[in-house]
Amino acid sequence: MPNDRVAVVGDKNAISAFKALGADVYGVKEFSEAEGVIKKLARDYSVIFVTEDIAKAHRELINRYKARPYPAVIPIPTAAGSDGYGMAAINENVEKAIGSSITLDEE
C-alpha cells in the first residue's frame, strides 16, 4: 500500500535537486532502466515524478497507472526544459476529471 512517499525518476543531473525537497531520487542512465524502476516504485510510493523524456518513452506503462488511485505518475521537465508533454498530460487528466480544460492562453 503506497504511503506519502514521493519519488523522482530521471537523469541524475536533472533530478538531484529534488532530494533537498525530501523526495527519493532515482537516477537512470538509459530509458530502458526506467521501466523497472517505475514498476518497483509503484508498490511503495504515492507520487512518482518522471522526466518528460522518460514519460514519453514509457507512455504505455504510465497510462496503466492512470486507472489506479496510486501512484500518481507525473511528468516533469528535463534539465533542458519542457517540451510541453508534462503540461499536456496534466491538462488531459484535469479535463477528464472535471469535463473541461482549464488551460490559460498565453499572449
Q: List the chain domain ranges.
A: 6-98
The pLDDT of 23-44, averaged and rounded, is 94
Residue 23's contacts (CB-CB under 8 Å, 6 or more residues apart) are 6, 7, 8, 49
In this predicted structure, what is the pLDDT of residue 107?
45
* Third-level CATH fold of 6-98: Rossmann fold (3.40.50)
> Which 8-state DSSP code applies to residue 81?
B
Q: In 1-107, where do the E strands start and end? A: 6-10, 24-27, 47-51, 72-76
| Residue 48 to residue 45: CA distance in whole angstroms | 7
pLDDT above 70 (res 95): no
Helix (H, G, I), strand (E, B) or coil at 7: strand
The pLDDT of 51-56, averaged and rounded, is 92
Contact 89, 103 (CB under 8 A): no
The pLDDT of 64-78, averaged and rounded, is 86
In this predicted structure, what is the pLDDT of residue 54?
93
